[in-house]
Amino acid sequence: MRIPIIVALLICSFVSYGATTGQTTTSANVGQLINISLARAQSLGDIRVADFNNVHIITLTVDNNDDDGYTLNFKSDNGTRFATGDNFGYLIHNSAADTPTANPTNGQKPTTRYELMLCEASADSTYGHVTNPSNVADSCTNPADSVSKFEITSNSGSNIIFNQVNKATLSGIFNLLLSQKSDVQLFHGDFSDTIIVSISDN
């Protein structure tokens, strides 16, 4: 008797599928840019006999590409030169330097501090801020009355903060304007202060 041998052949087919999606990331890098340069413009006239309003005294050029904006700080050297008295933000007679341990006399210091205001000086500059701080005017020739002037009253100085930015500020040109009320009882001679301006990222 013959027994049939049945061989069952099982064929397994394996299909390989490729990925249907993928991604890769490319990147770039932008170096940090933070810089300020100052150029002197002009001095005031005789502060005994006339009030001076919004006189252009310094030109500032600013570069900054921090996405949170930047801060300009203004300090008064006269506040630290003398051992006594409140002398921040005052023009002081040169003779006061002979006795820096004493508070300048009434004839060596005006009765009022000078006031400062910053303004955008050039339409050709690339300013990155969306709106100006309250101490900065859009126009240097005709600043709006709503722009607030500021004084330097302490060792920490006064800050102007540009924190609403949508692009970098490149060679942004600002003018610093100074106002000083007259004082008829000042001594003859030269009055001055060194204004120190610095920039920092926010």
The first and second tokens of residue 55, run together, are: 């006189």
pLDDT of res. 200: 97
> In the chain, helix, strand, coil percent, each to 5?
5, 35, 60
Sole residue written with tokens 């990147």: 27
The confidence score (pLDDT) of residue 193 equals 95
pTM reported for the whole predicted model? 0.86
φ and ψ at residue 143, rounded to 5 degrees: -65, 140
Structure tokens, 188: 């003859």
pLDDT at 79: 93
- Of 149, 47, 177, the C-alpha closest to 108 is 47
Please tell me the predicted confidence (pLDDT) of residue 33: 94
- Asked whether the CA dihedral 100, 106, 110, 113 is positive or negative, the reply is positive
Q: Output the pLDDT for position 151.
A: 98
Neighbours of 97 (CB within 10 A): 14
The type of residue at 98 is D
pLDDT along the chain (202 residues), means of 10: 58 67 91 94 88 95 96 96 92 94 95 97 91 92 90 97 95 96 96 96 94
